[in-house]
Amino acid sequence: MSSLNKVILIGRVGKDPELRYTADGKPVASFSLATSEKRKDKDNEKTEWHNIIAWAKLAEIVGEYVKKGDLLYCEGRIESHEYTGKDGNKKKQYNIVINAMQMLGNKGWTQQTKETDDDFMNEEDI
């Protein structure tokens, strides 16, 4: 194996997901996910926020079932996106494009998809 791009996160949804459709009708959902880490040498936690993107059937399921505060297991890959900010400077944003998700807690519901890279689109296509 020459390379691997895989991310596994367990965290809480920061706000209700946004479900939209591309010009050609492909569903895409986006939401933020918070992961927290307790520090041994301090009494506080460090929280990281992750931008999560789901496509196709998984996006529709996210839009229907996932809500703010839900505890999720998400599996996918990192994608970067360059854009020009309002200040005119070039910026880079990192997203986690998920292909598997499990709702943790009392719901016990799982959704997993097997998609090829051709099924994924860049944010420019939205």
Sign of CA dihedral 9, 98, 83, 4: positive
Residue 124 CB neighbours (<10 A) = 7
List phi, psi (to 5°) of 31.
Answer: -160, 165
Per-residue pLDDT, 106: 56
Q: Residue 69 corresponds to which amino acid? A: G
pTM of the model: 0.77
Per-residue pLDDT, 110: 47
**Contact status, residue 90 vs residue 102, Cβ threshold 8 Å:** no
Domains, the chain, with CATH or none:
7-38+46-107 (2.40.50.140)
Torsion of CA 112, 118, 121, 125, to 10 degrees: -150
Higher pLDDT, 115 or 82: 82
pLDDT digits (tens, 9 = 90+) for 84-125: 999 999 999 999 999 999 999 754 444 444 444 444 434 444
